[in-house]
A and B are shown apart, each in its own frame.
Chain A
Amino acid sequence: MPLPKDFVAASATPLILSILSHGESYGYDIIQRVRKLSDGDLEWADGMLYPILHRLEKRGLVRSHWGKAPSGRRRKYYGLCQSGLAELTVQRESWQQMNDMLQRLSGGNVCLT
């Protein structure tokens, strides 16, 4: 089931930071990994990832450099900064907290009025 837009937008930063925490990557690869992880349920308009990456770079959470792809093309690679790692920890805790709350709430009987 495709995820709602709000959810997709809110999860973009932690997902990008999580992927980059495993090592340097580039835009196309990040999108492919997210697609694979979500079994296609999380769909980003491909071009929209880059402004998010640039914003994260301006916030000092990620860094970038131009390198060469195996094909010889110029390619921009992104990596996680120390502050990005700290932000990722905070984001993970927040999402975990939200998940715990929902889990606890789903434990009771459902009452429809």
Chain B
Amino acid sequence: MFDLEQGLAQWRHNLMGCRSVKRVHADELEDHLRCEIEALVGQGFSEERAFALATETMGDPDTLAAAYAQSRRRPFRTTLNRIHRMEKNIMKATRSSALMIGTSLIWAAIMIACSLVMRGAEQASDIHFILLSGWFATFFLLQPSGTATMKAEWACLKRLVSSNRRS
């Protein structure tokens, strides 16, 4: 003899065996299942058949658990993933930094050499200013991807901040 309450308890037990399904989720789903069973019994089905049909329409516990797992918020893991993505972007940027360091060293050497040659000269500060401008200009001209990466980092950071605000 089929016992509906026992069947429902077993179904609930199976469902709650899945980590992503909490007690409140099971309560809500059980109410749904009971509604469906009542409707089917009202149409003339036996309790056993109604239970079988209702659980089938509900979907199997594994699929349900996967859907619940997807809808659950995991802020820590999500934040970790975002930090990992940011780190990857930074790594991309540092790969091209060898050229930047080399250029900087050359410019620094030129500036030191100029200082030594033009020691005491009136135009020394003007020449240094021009060299410094040249250094920055070279930095931006040789590193077009540098600004793109900076923009990407900034956008990533903004997304991270805004999503944390939402959560």
Residues in chain A within 8 A of chain B (CB atoms): 26-28, 31, 45-48, 50-52, 54-55, 58, 69, 73-76
Q: How far is the CB of A44 from chain B (nearest CB, A)?
A: 9
Residues in chain B within 8 A of chain A (CB atoms): 24-25, 27-29, 31-32, 34-36, 57-59, 63-64, 67-68, 70-71, 73
The count of A-to-B residue pairs whose CB atoms sit within 8 angstroms is 54
Main secondary structure of the interface of B (DSSP, over half): helix
The one of A46, A74, A75 that contacts B58, using a Cβ cutoff of 8 Å: A46
Q: Is the CB of A46 within 8 A of B31?
A: no
Q: How far is the CB of B16 from chain A (nearest CB, A)?
A: 14
The one of B24, B34, B67 that contacts A48, using a Cβ cutoff of 8 Å: B67
The 6 A-B residue pairs with the shortest CB-CB distance, nearest first, are A51-B71, A45-B59, A28-B35, A51-B67, A47-B59, A47-B64
Residue of A nearest to B68 (CB): A51
Q: Is the CB of B32 within 8 A of A28?
A: yes
Q: How far is the CB of A83 from chain B (nearest CB, A)?
A: 12
Q: How far is the CB of B162 from chain A (nearest CB, A)?
A: 14
Given A51-B68, A74-B27: A28 touches B36 (CB 8 Å cut-off): yes
Contacts of B34 in A (CB 8 A): 73
Q: Is the CB of B58 within 8 A of A73?
A: no
Q: How far is the CA of A52 from the CA of B64 in the complex (A)?
A: 11
Q: Is the CB of B25 within 8 A of A50?
A: yes
Q: How far is the CA of A82 from the CA of B57 in the complex (A)?
A: 32
Contacts of B32 in A (CB 8 A): 27-28, 31, 46-47, 50
Residue of A nearest to B57 (CB): A46
Q: How far is the CB of A91 from chain B (nearest CB, A)?
A: 19
The contact sample of 29 A-B pairs, CB cut-off 8 A, is A26-B31, A27-B28, A28-B31, A31-B32, A46-B32, A46-B36, A46-B57, A46-B58, A46-B59, A47-B29, A47-B32, A47-B59, A47-B64, A48-B59, A50-B25, A50-B28, A50-B32, A50-B68, A51-B70, A51-B71, A52-B71, A54-B68, A54-B71, A58-B71, A69-B31, A73-B31, A74-B27, A74-B31, A76-B24
